Amino acid sequence: MPTTVVAPKANDPCWCGSGRKYKRCHKASTERVRPGRISPPRPVPDHIPRPPYAETGVPTRTPGPHVRSPEVIERMRAAGRAAAEVLQVVGAAVAPGVTTDELDALCHEEIIKRGGYPSPLNYGGFPKSLCTSVNEVICHGIPDDRPLRDGDIVNLDVTIYLDGVHGDTNATFPVGQIDEASARLIEVTRACLERGIAAVKPGRPVRAIGRAIQEHAEAHGYGVVRAFVGHGIAEEFHTDLQIPHYDDPRATTILEPGMTFTIEPMITMGAWQHEIWPDGWTAVTVDRKRTAQFEHTLLVTDDGAEILTTTD
């Protein structure tokens, strides 16, 4: 006779022996994220200055020097600080039962309150002001009416266009009580970003950043997403400067003081390969295992890196 496997009920002890209820342990991590209903894009007041793509949806990418002037850098410090403040406010609102659309509304409001434009809005047609990537979603998740569940993890990616430049940052937040494996993933991913930042030194190739990140992630048994990378940023949301998060021998650009770019490693519990949902934006891991991400906008200094997306 075949053995019948009965799935535990929500309030049963979890099968893993943790002593926690199944709903607070492995139940959430075995359920795939499904797309919900997306509300219309939120309006931006007429007095808010807009990036060139705001009306057309078509971003421009102009080749040019990667080193920024002192005047641009000062504006980027202000934009980065504003982005960090918004991420802090929106992150504090993460809780079971809150929808990602509600988080988008809060992000939109906080950015406008600071006189900025939410950079993702209509960038290539993206319909929202915030990217919300839950569990196995690697990046570019579109906020919708799906309530966050106890045990989820969610990445919030905030970018503000302020005074002619962009500030870009993100972080992964636990929703309620999360399992130990997800907490470890978040901890190691944050450390990967820190390792990448520590590798920034003038005279080094960009490749050094990805090498530091990949070594740390793989030492803990995790994968590093290849398809999505860090990028140059200033007056344009994404410039032609790319920052891979793995050891890519093609990343030979030499770091120079005055460069500004993001480092934003996406670290996976399993496979690093991705698939895209039919919406054309939402990237998920092929094995549907969880992934986390952290990001800062950085300035290369004479002896290292300055984090621009901080409230300090």
Looking at the domain 61-307, which fold is it?
A: Creatine Amidinohydrolase (3.90.230)
Residue 136 predicted with pLDDT over 90: yes
> What's 125's DSSP letter?
G
Question: Residue 140's pLDDT is what?
Answer: 98
Q: From 249, 252, 234, select the one nearest 119 (Cα to Cα).
A: 234
* Identity of the residue numbered 5: V
Residue 145 predicted with pLDDT over 70: yes
User: What ranges do the domains of the chain cover?
Assistant: 61-307
CA 292 to chain centre: 8
Mean predicted confidence (pLDDT) in 159-170? 98
The average confidence (pLDDT) of the chain is 93
Tens digits of residue pLDDT in 281-311 = 999 999 999 999 999 999 999 999 999 999 9
Tens digits of residue pLDDT in 12-28 = 776 455 677 766 665 55
Tens digits of residue pLDDT in 189-241 = 999 999 999 999 999 999 999 999 999 999 999 999 999 999 999 999 999 99
Question: Residue 29's pLDDT is what?
Answer: 54
Question: Residue 130's pLDDT is what?
Answer: 98
Residue 5 predicted with pLDDT over 80: no
User: Residue 194: in which H helix or E strand, if any?
Assistant: helix 180-198
User: If you write DSSP's letter for every residue of 63-120 in order, what string do you get?
Assistant: ---SBPPHHHHHHHHHHHHHHHHHHHHHHHT--TT-BHHHHHHHHHHHHHHTT-EETT
Mean predicted confidence (pLDDT) in 145-156? 98
CA 139 to chain centre: 6
Question: Residue 110's pLDDT is what?
Answer: 98
Tens digits of residue pLDDT in 89-117 = 999 999 999 999 999 999 999 999 999 99
* 25-34, 219-228, 247-256, 275-284, range with the lowest pLDDT: 25-34
Mean predicted confidence (pLDDT) in 237-262? 98
In a 3-state reduction of DSSP, which class is residue 305? strand
Q: What's the whole-model pTM score? A: 0.91
Q: Where residue 187 falls among pLDDT bands split at 50, 70, 90?
A: very high
In a 3-state reduction of DSSP, which class is residue 53? helix
d(CA 266, CA 16): 27
